[in-house]
A and B are shown apart, each in its own frame.
Chain A
Amino acid sequence: MAEMWVNFGPQHPFTHGLWRLKVKVDGETVTDVEPTIGYLHRGVEKIAENRTWYQFIPYNDRLCYVASIAWSEGYIGAVEKLMDIEPPERAKYLRTISFELQRIASHFVWLAAYAIDLGNFTAMLFAVREREFILDLLSRLTGHRMTYNYPRFGGVARDAPIGWEDRVVRNLNRIERKMKDFIDLMTENETFLKRVQGVGVLPRNKAKAWGVTGPVARGSGLKTDVRYNDPYLLYEEIGFEPVVMKDGDCYSRYMVRMQEIFESINISRDLAEKMPSGDIQIKAPKKPPEGEVFNRVEVPRGEASYYIVSNGGNSPYRLKIRSPAYIHIQSTKVIMPGHNVADLPAILGSLDVCLGDTDR
Protein backbone atom coordinates (compact mmCIF):
# COMPACT_ATOMS: atom_id res chain seq x y z
CA MET A 1 0.00 0.00 0.00
CA ALA A 2 1.18 3.53 -0.68
CA GLU A 3 2.57 5.45 2.27
CA MET A 4 1.02 8.76 3.20
CA TRP A 5 1.32 11.50 5.82
CA VAL A 6 -1.59 12.09 8.20
CA ASN A 7 -1.85 15.04 10.58
CA PHE A 8 -2.87 14.55 14.20
CA GLY A 9 -3.57 17.96 15.63
CA PRO A 10 -3.07 20.80 16.35
CA GLN A 11 -6.72 20.37 17.39
CA HIS A 12 -7.10 16.74 18.21
CA PRO A 13 -8.19 15.11 21.49
CA PHE A 14 -5.25 12.72 21.51
CA THR A 15 -2.58 15.43 21.53
CA HIS A 16 -3.35 16.59 25.12
CA GLY A 17 -2.51 20.14 24.22
CA LEU A 18 -1.76 22.30 21.25
CA TRP A 19 0.73 20.56 18.99
CA ARG A 20 0.81 18.50 15.86
CA LEU A 21 2.06 15.02 15.13
CA LYS A 22 2.65 14.25 11.48
CA VAL A 23 2.32 10.49 11.09
CA LYS A 24 3.52 8.55 8.05
CA VAL A 25 1.29 5.52 7.69
CA ASP A 26 1.49 2.40 5.56
CA GLY A 27 -2.05 1.07 5.85
CA GLU A 28 -2.54 0.82 9.62
CA THR A 29 1.15 0.75 10.49
CA VAL A 30 3.07 3.86 11.52
CA THR A 31 6.39 4.09 9.70
CA ASP A 32 7.57 7.54 10.76
CA VAL A 33 6.42 10.47 12.88
CA GLU A 34 7.39 14.13 12.93
CA PRO A 35 6.33 16.21 15.96
CA THR A 36 5.72 19.91 15.34
CA ILE A 37 5.55 22.22 18.35
CA GLY A 38 5.52 25.95 18.91
CA TYR A 39 1.80 26.69 18.80
CA LEU A 40 1.88 27.81 22.44
CA HIS A 41 5.21 29.63 22.35
CA ARG A 42 4.99 32.78 24.44
CA GLY A 43 8.67 33.63 24.72
CA VAL A 44 8.90 33.11 28.47
CA GLU A 45 12.69 33.22 28.39
CA LYS A 46 12.56 36.65 26.74
CA ILE A 47 9.86 37.82 29.15
CA ALA A 48 12.19 36.88 32.03
CA GLU A 49 14.89 39.17 30.67
CA ASN A 50 12.45 42.09 30.83
CA ARG A 51 10.91 41.55 34.28
CA THR A 52 12.43 41.88 37.72
CA TRP A 53 13.43 38.77 39.63
CA TYR A 54 10.25 38.92 41.71
CA GLN A 55 7.91 39.77 38.84
CA PHE A 56 8.90 36.62 37.02
CA ILE A 57 7.54 34.28 39.74
CA PRO A 58 3.91 34.35 38.52
CA TYR A 59 4.97 34.00 34.87
CA ASN A 60 6.98 30.99 35.86
CA ASP A 61 3.88 29.48 37.51
CA ARG A 62 2.11 29.50 34.18
CA LEU A 63 4.70 27.32 32.48
CA CYS A 64 2.89 24.16 33.39
CA TYR A 65 -0.64 24.80 34.52
CA VAL A 66 -1.05 21.42 36.21
CA ALA A 67 2.19 21.46 38.20
CA SER A 68 2.90 25.09 38.93
CA ILE A 69 4.35 24.78 42.45
CA ALA A 70 6.86 22.26 41.18
CA TRP A 71 8.04 24.68 38.51
CA SER A 72 8.16 27.56 41.00
CA GLU A 73 10.51 25.52 43.12
CA GLY A 74 12.95 25.24 40.21
CA TYR A 75 13.16 28.98 39.66
CA ILE A 76 13.03 29.97 43.34
CA GLY A 77 15.66 27.37 44.24
CA ALA A 78 17.96 28.62 41.49
CA VAL A 79 17.73 32.25 42.56
CA GLU A 80 18.15 31.28 46.23
CA LYS A 81 21.41 29.57 45.28
CA LEU A 82 22.51 32.76 43.52
CA MET A 83 21.55 34.90 46.53
CA ASP A 84 23.16 32.32 48.82
CA ILE A 85 20.21 32.17 51.22
CA GLU A 86 18.30 29.24 52.63
CA PRO A 87 14.66 29.21 53.73
CA PRO A 88 13.80 28.47 57.39
CA GLU A 89 12.91 24.93 58.44
CA ARG A 90 9.12 25.40 58.48
CA ALA A 91 9.17 26.97 55.01
CA LYS A 92 11.14 23.97 53.75
CA TYR A 93 8.50 21.66 55.15
CA LEU A 94 5.65 23.66 53.58
CA ARG A 95 7.44 23.75 50.25
CA THR A 96 8.22 20.04 50.24
CA ILE A 97 4.67 19.10 51.22
CA SER A 98 3.10 21.35 48.59
CA PHE A 99 5.60 20.02 46.03
CA GLU A 100 4.55 16.44 46.71
CA LEU A 101 0.84 17.33 46.85
CA GLN A 102 1.28 18.96 43.46
CA ARG A 103 2.80 15.75 42.11
CA ILE A 104 -0.25 13.78 43.27
CA ALA A 105 -2.61 16.31 41.67
CA SER A 106 -0.63 16.25 38.42
CA HIS A 107 -0.54 12.45 38.33
CA PHE A 108 -4.31 12.41 38.79
CA VAL A 109 -4.72 14.69 35.78
CA TRP A 110 -2.53 12.28 33.83
CA LEU A 111 -4.51 9.31 35.13
CA ALA A 112 -7.82 10.92 34.15
CA ALA A 113 -6.55 11.73 30.66
CA TYR A 114 -5.02 8.28 30.23
CA ALA A 115 -8.20 6.57 31.36
CA ILE A 116 -10.34 8.48 28.90
CA ASP A 117 -7.79 7.91 26.10
CA LEU A 118 -8.28 4.20 26.60
CA GLY A 119 -12.05 4.41 26.95
CA ASN A 120 -12.35 4.10 30.72
CA PHE A 121 -14.78 6.90 31.56
CA THR A 122 -15.40 5.87 35.17
CA ALA A 123 -11.73 5.96 36.13
CA MET A 124 -11.47 9.43 34.59
CA LEU A 125 -14.28 10.76 36.77
CA PHE A 126 -12.82 9.12 39.88
CA ALA A 127 -9.37 10.59 39.21
CA VAL A 128 -10.73 14.10 38.73
CA ARG A 129 -12.73 13.73 41.94
CA GLU A 130 -9.71 12.63 43.99
CA ARG A 131 -7.64 15.47 42.55
CA GLU A 132 -10.17 17.91 43.98
CA PHE A 133 -9.15 16.83 47.51
CA ILE A 134 -5.57 17.85 46.76
CA LEU A 135 -6.60 21.15 45.17
CA ASP A 136 -8.66 21.80 48.28
CA LEU A 137 -5.53 21.44 50.45
CA LEU A 138 -3.46 23.62 48.14
CA SER A 139 -6.07 26.35 47.86
CA ARG A 140 -6.38 26.48 51.65
CA LEU A 141 -2.61 26.83 51.85
CA THR A 142 -2.01 29.31 49.05
CA GLY A 143 -5.34 30.99 48.27
CA HIS A 144 -5.37 29.83 44.65
CA ARG A 145 -6.62 26.77 42.88
CA MET A 146 -4.15 26.15 40.06
CA THR A 147 -1.45 28.80 39.60
CA TYR A 148 -0.36 29.27 43.15
CA ASN A 149 2.37 31.94 43.23
CA TYR A 150 3.34 30.49 46.59
CA PRO A 151 7.11 29.96 47.14
CA ARG A 152 9.22 33.06 47.61
CA PHE A 153 12.96 33.72 47.72
CA GLY A 154 13.86 32.63 51.25
CA GLY A 155 10.54 31.12 52.27
CA VAL A 156 6.88 31.00 51.31
CA ALA A 157 4.20 33.64 50.80
CA ARG A 158 1.96 32.69 53.73
CA ASP A 159 1.73 30.28 56.62
CA ALA A 160 -0.56 27.26 56.69
CA PRO A 161 -3.99 27.93 58.25
CA ILE A 162 -4.75 26.41 61.65
CA GLY A 163 -5.53 22.73 61.38
CA TRP A 164 -4.12 22.41 57.87
CA GLU A 165 -1.72 19.62 58.82
CA ASP A 166 -4.59 17.48 60.15
CA ARG A 167 -6.53 18.07 56.97
CA VAL A 168 -3.53 16.96 54.90
CA VAL A 169 -3.39 13.70 56.83
CA ARG A 170 -7.15 13.19 56.59
CA ASN A 171 -7.42 13.88 52.85
CA LEU A 172 -4.38 11.78 52.04
CA ASN A 173 -5.76 8.87 54.06
CA ARG A 174 -8.91 9.08 52.00
CA ILE A 175 -7.03 9.18 48.70
CA GLU A 176 -4.87 6.24 49.73
CA ARG A 177 -8.02 4.25 50.50
CA LYS A 178 -9.64 5.25 47.21
CA MET A 179 -6.59 4.25 45.17
CA LYS A 180 -7.99 0.71 45.34
CA ASP A 181 -10.69 1.83 42.87
CA PHE A 182 -8.03 2.51 40.25
CA ILE A 183 -6.37 -0.83 40.88
CA ASP A 184 -9.73 -2.53 40.25
CA LEU A 185 -10.68 -0.34 37.31
CA MET A 186 -7.34 -0.17 35.51
CA THR A 187 -4.40 -2.14 36.89
CA GLU A 188 -6.38 -5.39 37.07
CA ASN A 189 -8.56 -4.71 34.04
CA GLU A 190 -7.72 -7.09 31.23
CA THR A 191 -8.89 -4.76 28.45
CA PHE A 192 -6.62 -2.04 29.81
CA LEU A 193 -3.65 -4.40 30.17
CA LYS A 194 -4.04 -5.62 26.58
CA ARG A 195 -3.72 -2.04 25.37
CA VAL A 196 -0.62 -1.13 27.39
CA GLN A 197 1.49 -4.23 27.98
CA GLY A 198 4.31 -4.57 25.45
CA VAL A 199 3.17 -1.42 23.64
CA GLY A 200 5.45 1.55 23.08
CA VAL A 201 8.66 -0.02 24.32
CA LEU A 202 11.52 2.42 24.91
CA PRO A 203 14.64 0.34 25.64
CA ARG A 204 17.13 1.47 28.25
CA ASN A 205 19.90 2.47 25.84
CA LYS A 206 17.54 4.50 23.66
CA ALA A 207 16.08 6.17 26.74
CA LYS A 208 19.60 7.32 27.61
CA ALA A 209 20.45 8.49 24.10
CA TRP A 210 17.22 10.45 23.77
CA GLY A 211 17.64 12.04 27.19
CA VAL A 212 14.26 11.18 28.69
CA THR A 213 13.76 11.76 32.42
CA GLY A 214 11.16 11.26 35.09
CA PRO A 215 8.65 8.40 35.01
CA VAL A 216 9.49 7.67 31.36
CA ALA A 217 13.15 7.03 32.21
CA ARG A 218 12.27 5.11 35.38
CA GLY A 219 9.85 2.98 33.36
CA SER A 220 12.81 2.05 31.13
CA GLY A 221 14.88 0.80 34.05
CA LEU A 222 17.00 3.88 34.71
CA LYS A 223 17.28 4.64 38.42
CA THR A 224 17.24 8.37 38.00
CA ASP A 225 15.42 11.00 39.97
CA VAL A 226 16.63 14.47 40.87
CA ARG A 227 15.24 13.97 44.37
CA TYR A 228 17.57 10.96 44.67
CA ASN A 229 20.64 11.95 42.61
CA ASP A 230 20.79 15.65 43.35
CA PRO A 231 18.56 16.21 46.41
CA TYR A 232 17.13 19.59 47.32
CA LEU A 233 14.77 20.86 50.06
CA LEU A 234 14.25 18.01 52.55
CA TYR A 235 14.80 15.04 50.24
CA GLU A 236 18.25 14.22 51.62
CA GLU A 237 16.78 13.77 55.14
CA ILE A 238 13.79 11.79 53.90
CA GLY A 239 16.04 9.12 52.38
CA PHE A 240 14.06 8.94 49.20
CA GLU A 241 14.21 5.90 46.86
CA PRO A 242 12.82 6.14 43.31
CA VAL A 243 10.41 3.59 41.83
CA VAL A 244 11.93 1.74 38.88
CA MET A 245 10.32 -0.66 36.41
CA LYS A 246 12.41 -2.30 33.72
CA ASP A 247 10.21 -3.19 30.73
CA GLY A 248 10.01 0.28 29.18
CA ASP A 249 6.48 -0.20 27.84
CA CYS A 250 3.33 1.83 28.51
CA TYR A 251 2.47 -0.47 31.41
CA SER A 252 5.80 0.24 33.16
CA ARG A 253 5.33 3.97 32.85
CA TYR A 254 1.77 3.59 34.13
CA MET A 255 2.91 1.55 37.13
CA VAL A 256 5.74 3.96 37.97
CA ARG A 257 3.30 6.85 38.17
CA MET A 258 0.75 4.86 40.16
CA GLN A 259 3.40 3.90 42.72
CA GLU A 260 4.68 7.46 42.82
CA ILE A 261 1.24 8.59 43.95
CA PHE A 262 1.57 6.27 46.99
CA GLU A 263 5.13 7.45 47.55
CA SER A 264 4.11 11.11 47.47
CA ILE A 265 1.22 10.40 49.82
CA ASN A 266 3.65 8.84 52.30
CA ILE A 267 6.20 11.63 52.06
CA SER A 268 3.73 14.48 52.49
CA ARG A 269 1.78 12.73 55.26
CA ASP A 270 4.95 12.02 57.26
CA LEU A 271 6.14 15.60 56.87
CA ALA A 272 2.74 17.03 57.81
CA GLU A 273 2.76 14.97 61.02
CA LYS A 274 6.11 16.33 62.20
CA MET A 275 5.93 19.89 60.88
CA PRO A 276 8.02 22.26 63.04
CA SER A 277 6.84 25.70 64.10
CA GLY A 278 8.76 28.87 63.44
CA ASP A 279 9.39 31.48 60.79
CA ILE A 280 8.23 30.96 57.24
CA GLN A 281 10.29 33.65 55.54
CA ILE A 282 13.68 35.26 55.89
CA LYS A 283 14.57 38.61 54.46
CA ALA A 284 15.91 38.16 50.95
CA PRO A 285 17.87 40.74 48.95
CA LYS A 286 16.09 42.60 46.13
CA LYS A 287 18.35 41.10 43.52
CA PRO A 288 21.05 38.45 43.41
CA PRO A 289 24.71 39.31 42.80
CA GLU A 290 26.55 38.63 39.56
CA GLY A 291 26.93 34.96 38.77
CA GLU A 292 25.62 31.87 37.08
CA VAL A 293 23.62 29.06 38.54
CA PHE A 294 22.22 25.72 37.48
CA ASN A 295 19.37 24.25 39.48
CA ARG A 296 17.13 21.31 38.77
CA VAL A 297 14.07 19.79 40.38
CA GLU A 298 11.97 16.72 39.71
CA VAL A 299 8.62 18.03 38.48
CA PRO A 300 5.90 15.37 37.97
CA ARG A 301 6.94 14.90 34.33
CA GLY A 302 10.66 14.63 34.84
CA GLU A 303 13.64 16.87 35.28
CA ALA A 304 13.08 20.60 35.01
CA SER A 305 16.22 22.65 35.11
CA TYR A 306 17.02 26.34 35.16
CA TYR A 307 20.26 27.84 33.96
CA ILE A 308 20.38 31.47 34.99
CA VAL A 309 22.99 34.13 34.26
CA SER A 310 22.85 37.24 36.40
CA ASN A 311 24.88 40.39 35.74
CA GLY A 312 23.85 41.92 39.06
CA GLY A 313 20.99 43.81 37.41
CA ASN A 314 17.30 44.01 38.17
CA SER A 315 16.35 41.15 35.89
CA PRO A 316 17.97 37.90 34.74
CA TYR A 317 20.51 38.36 31.95
CA ARG A 318 19.73 34.94 30.51
CA LEU A 319 17.33 32.32 31.79
CA LYS A 320 17.16 28.93 30.15
CA ILE A 321 14.39 26.54 31.05
CA ARG A 322 14.74 22.84 30.35
CA SER A 323 11.40 21.13 30.01
CA PRO A 324 11.02 17.35 30.38
CA ALA A 325 7.93 17.12 28.14
CA TYR A 326 9.86 18.82 25.30
CA ILE A 327 12.21 15.85 25.25
CA HIS A 328 9.40 13.32 25.58
CA ILE A 329 7.63 14.79 22.55
CA GLN A 330 10.89 14.47 20.64
CA SER A 331 11.22 10.84 21.75
CA THR A 332 7.96 9.92 19.97
CA LYS A 333 10.24 9.61 16.93
CA VAL A 334 11.82 6.48 18.39
CA ILE A 335 8.88 5.04 20.32
CA MET A 336 6.07 5.23 17.80
CA PRO A 337 7.28 3.76 14.47
CA GLY A 338 6.17 0.16 13.98
CA HIS A 339 2.97 0.46 15.96
CA ASN A 340 -0.63 0.57 14.79
CA VAL A 341 -2.33 3.94 14.52
CA ALA A 342 -4.72 2.83 17.27
CA ASP A 343 -1.78 2.46 19.70
CA LEU A 344 -0.67 6.08 19.35
CA PRO A 345 -3.02 7.47 22.03
CA ALA A 346 -1.89 4.77 24.47
CA ILE A 347 1.78 5.64 23.86
CA LEU A 348 1.34 9.38 23.94
CA GLY A 349 -0.78 9.27 27.09
CA SER A 350 1.92 7.27 28.85
CA LEU A 351 4.45 10.04 28.09
CA ASP A 352 2.25 12.62 29.87
CA VAL A 353 3.12 15.74 27.89
CA CYS A 354 2.27 19.27 28.96
CA LEU A 355 2.48 21.86 26.23
CA GLY A 356 2.69 24.86 28.52
CA ASP A 357 6.26 24.07 29.49
CA THR A 358 7.20 22.43 26.20
CA ASP A 359 6.70 25.57 24.15
CA ARG A 360 7.50 28.07 26.91
Chain B
Amino acid sequence: MTDINSLAESLKKKFADVQVEVKDGRRAVAEVPSEQILDVMYFMRDSMGRDYLASLSGADYDDRIEVIYLVGSYSDGIIFITKTKLPKGNPAVNSVVEVWPTASFHEREAAEMFGIIFEGHPNLEHLLLPEDFEGHPLRKDYKWW
Protein backbone atom coordinates (compact mmCIF):
# COMPACT_ATOMS: atom_id res chain seq x y z
CA MET B 1 0.00 0.00 0.00
CA THR B 2 1.06 3.54 -0.73
CA ASP B 3 1.77 5.66 2.29
CA ILE B 4 0.03 9.01 2.44
CA ASN B 5 2.80 10.68 4.42
CA SER B 6 5.48 9.88 1.87
CA LEU B 7 3.22 11.18 -0.92
CA ALA B 8 2.63 14.40 1.01
CA GLU B 9 6.39 14.76 1.62
CA SER B 10 7.20 14.35 -2.07
CA LEU B 11 4.63 17.01 -2.97
CA LYS B 12 6.04 19.41 -0.37
CA LYS B 13 9.60 18.81 -1.55
CA LYS B 14 8.78 19.50 -5.20
CA PHE B 15 6.64 22.63 -4.64
CA ALA B 16 7.76 25.02 -1.89
CA ASP B 17 4.55 27.08 -2.07
CA VAL B 18 2.18 24.15 -1.64
CA GLN B 19 0.88 23.55 1.87
CA VAL B 20 -0.03 19.96 2.62
CA GLU B 21 -1.87 18.69 5.68
CA VAL B 22 -2.50 14.99 6.24
CA LYS B 23 -5.92 14.53 7.86
CA ASP B 24 -5.92 10.77 8.37
CA GLY B 25 -4.71 7.61 6.64
CA ARG B 26 -6.64 8.27 3.45
CA ARG B 27 -7.26 12.03 3.22
CA ALA B 28 -4.89 14.95 2.77
CA VAL B 29 -5.57 18.60 2.03
CA ALA B 30 -3.22 20.54 -0.25
CA GLU B 31 -3.41 24.27 -0.89
CA VAL B 32 -1.92 25.30 -4.19
CA PRO B 33 -1.29 28.81 -5.62
CA SER B 34 -3.55 29.15 -8.65
CA GLU B 35 -0.74 29.72 -11.16
CA GLN B 36 0.90 26.40 -10.24
CA ILE B 37 -2.20 24.23 -10.58
CA LEU B 38 -1.24 22.64 -13.91
CA ASP B 39 2.28 21.75 -12.72
CA VAL B 40 0.90 20.26 -9.50
CA MET B 41 -1.70 18.23 -11.39
CA TYR B 42 0.92 16.86 -13.80
CA PHE B 43 3.19 16.01 -10.87
CA MET B 44 0.38 14.26 -8.97
CA ARG B 45 -0.57 12.22 -12.02
CA ASP B 46 2.88 11.30 -13.27
CA SER B 47 5.00 11.07 -10.11
CA MET B 48 2.59 10.41 -7.26
CA GLY B 49 0.43 7.72 -8.85
CA ARG B 50 -2.74 9.82 -8.53
CA ASP B 51 -4.36 8.64 -11.77
CA TYR B 52 -7.97 9.52 -11.04
CA LEU B 53 -9.72 12.89 -10.87
CA ALA B 54 -12.81 12.13 -8.82
CA SER B 55 -14.34 15.54 -9.09
CA LEU B 56 -13.72 19.23 -9.47
CA SER B 57 -15.93 22.00 -8.20
CA GLY B 58 -16.07 25.46 -6.79
CA ALA B 59 -17.06 27.00 -3.49
CA ASP B 60 -18.01 30.61 -2.82
CA TYR B 61 -16.64 32.29 0.32
CA ASP B 62 -16.88 35.89 1.51
CA ASP B 63 -13.47 36.92 0.25
CA ARG B 64 -12.57 34.33 -2.37
CA ILE B 65 -13.70 31.61 -4.71
CA GLU B 66 -12.11 28.23 -4.22
CA VAL B 67 -11.66 25.52 -6.80
CA ILE B 68 -11.47 22.08 -5.23
CA TYR B 69 -9.89 19.20 -7.11
CA LEU B 70 -10.43 15.75 -5.60
CA VAL B 71 -7.49 13.71 -6.82
CA GLY B 72 -7.39 10.01 -6.08
CA SER B 73 -6.14 6.77 -7.50
CA TYR B 74 -7.62 3.66 -9.05
CA SER B 75 -5.47 1.39 -6.89
CA ASP B 76 -5.76 2.84 -3.38
CA GLY B 77 -8.14 4.91 -1.29
CA ILE B 78 -5.98 8.00 -0.77
CA ILE B 79 -7.57 11.28 -1.84
CA PHE B 80 -5.77 14.61 -2.09
CA ILE B 81 -8.28 17.41 -1.57
CA THR B 82 -6.45 20.03 -3.61
CA LYS B 83 -7.65 23.59 -3.27
CA THR B 84 -6.75 26.78 -4.98
CA LYS B 85 -7.96 30.24 -4.06
CA LEU B 86 -9.09 32.74 -6.69
CA PRO B 87 -9.94 36.44 -6.23
CA LYS B 88 -13.64 37.28 -6.52
CA GLY B 89 -13.03 40.00 -9.10
CA ASN B 90 -11.31 37.78 -11.64
CA PRO B 91 -11.71 34.06 -10.85
CA ALA B 92 -9.52 32.64 -13.60
CA VAL B 93 -7.41 29.50 -13.49
CA ASN B 94 -5.80 27.21 -16.04
CA SER B 95 -7.99 24.38 -17.27
CA VAL B 96 -6.80 20.88 -16.37
CA VAL B 97 -8.52 19.22 -19.35
CA GLU B 98 -5.12 18.50 -20.92
CA VAL B 99 -4.15 16.49 -17.81
CA TRP B 100 -7.53 14.83 -17.32
CA PRO B 101 -10.05 14.74 -20.18
CA THR B 102 -12.71 13.87 -17.57
CA ALA B 103 -12.44 17.41 -16.17
CA SER B 104 -14.30 18.81 -19.17
CA PHE B 105 -17.85 18.39 -17.81
CA HIS B 106 -16.81 19.32 -14.27
CA GLU B 107 -15.19 22.55 -15.44
CA ARG B 108 -18.18 23.50 -17.55
CA GLU B 109 -20.41 23.00 -14.54
CA ALA B 110 -18.15 24.98 -12.19
CA ALA B 111 -17.94 27.75 -14.80
CA GLU B 112 -21.70 28.19 -15.10
CA MET B 113 -22.42 27.76 -11.38
CA PHE B 114 -19.66 30.03 -10.01
CA GLY B 115 -18.50 32.12 -12.95
CA ILE B 116 -15.00 30.65 -12.80
CA ILE B 117 -13.04 31.11 -16.02
CA PHE B 118 -11.06 28.01 -16.99
CA GLU B 119 -8.42 29.25 -19.41
CA GLY B 120 -7.70 26.81 -22.20
CA HIS B 121 -10.92 24.83 -21.93
CA PRO B 122 -12.11 23.99 -25.47
CA ASN B 123 -15.79 24.73 -24.89
CA LEU B 124 -17.06 26.54 -21.81
CA GLU B 125 -20.74 26.62 -22.79
CA HIS B 126 -23.51 26.01 -20.27
CA LEU B 127 -23.91 22.36 -19.38
CA LEU B 128 -26.80 21.95 -16.94
CA LEU B 129 -28.33 25.41 -17.21
CA PRO B 130 -30.22 26.71 -20.27
CA GLU B 131 -28.10 28.56 -22.82
CA ASP B 132 -29.69 31.94 -22.08
CA PHE B 133 -29.50 31.65 -18.27
CA GLU B 134 -28.00 34.70 -16.59
CA GLY B 135 -26.08 34.72 -13.32
CA HIS B 136 -24.21 32.07 -11.37
CA PRO B 137 -26.72 30.23 -9.16
CA LEU B 138 -24.36 28.63 -6.63
CA ARG B 139 -22.82 31.95 -5.65
CA LYS B 140 -24.04 33.11 -2.27
CA ASP B 141 -25.17 36.50 -3.58
CA TYR B 142 -27.40 34.99 -6.27
CA LYS B 143 -31.04 36.01 -5.71
CA TRP B 144 -33.21 33.03 -6.53
CA TRP B 145 -36.42 34.04 -4.83
User: Which residues of A pack against B, CB within 8 Å?
Assistant: 37-38, 41, 43, 45-46, 208-211, 217, 222-224, 226, 229-231, 292, 294, 296, 303, 305, 307, 309, 317-318, 320, 322, 326-327, 330-331, 334, 359-360
Contact = CB atoms under 8 A, between A and B. Distances in A.
B60 interface: yes
Interface in B83-142: 100-102, 104-105, 113, 126-130, 137-138
4 closest cross-chain pairs (CB), A and B:
A230-B77, A211-B102, A322-B55, A38-B128
B101 A210 contact: yes
Contacts of A223: 74-75
Nearest to B137: A46
Contact of A46 (B54, B55, B57, B144): B144
A38 B129 contact: yes
A43 B144 CA distance: 11
Contacts, number: 82
Contacts of B81: 292, 294, 307
A305 B53 CA distance: 12
B46 interface: no
Most buried by A among B26, B51, B55: B55
Given A37-B128, A211-B53, A318 B102 contact: no
A330 B75 contact: no
A229 B75 contact: yes
B35 interface: no
Contact of B52 (A211, A294, A318): A211
A334 B102 CA distance: 11
A318 B60 contact: yes
A323 to B, nearest CB: 9
B4 interface: no
Q: How large is the interface on B (under 10, 10 to 19, 20 to 34, 35 or more residues)?
A: 20 to 34
Contacts of B48: none
A222 B70 contact: no
B68 interface: yes
Given A208-B74, A309-B59, A322-B70, A41 B54 contact: no
Contacts of A305: 54-55, 70
Interface of B: 26-27, 29, 51-55, 57, 59-60, 68, 70, 74-77, 79, 81, 100-102, 104-105, 113, 126-130, 137-138, 144
A217 B74 contact: yes
Given A208-B52, A318-B138, A320-B59, 18 more contacts: A38-B127, A38-B129, A46-B138, A209-B100, A211-B52, A211-B102, A230-B77, A292-B81, A294-B81, A296-B54, A296-B79, A307-B57, A307-B81, A309-B59, A320-B57, A327-B105, A330-B105, A359-B128
B102 A327 contact: yes
Contact of A294 (B59, B79, B130): B79
A320 B100 contact: no
A331 B29 CA distance: 28
19 contacts: A37-B127, A38-B129, A45-B113, A46-B144, A209-B100, A211-B52, A211-B102, A222-B74, A224-B75, A226-B77, A229-B76, A230-B79, A231-B77, A292-B29, A294-B70, A307-B68, A318-B59, A320-B55, A330-B102
B76 to A, nearest CB: 6
Given A46-B138, A307-B55, A326-B105, A229 B77 contact: yes
Contacts of A303: 54
Residue of B52, B76, B113, B126 most packed against chain A (CB within 10 A): B52
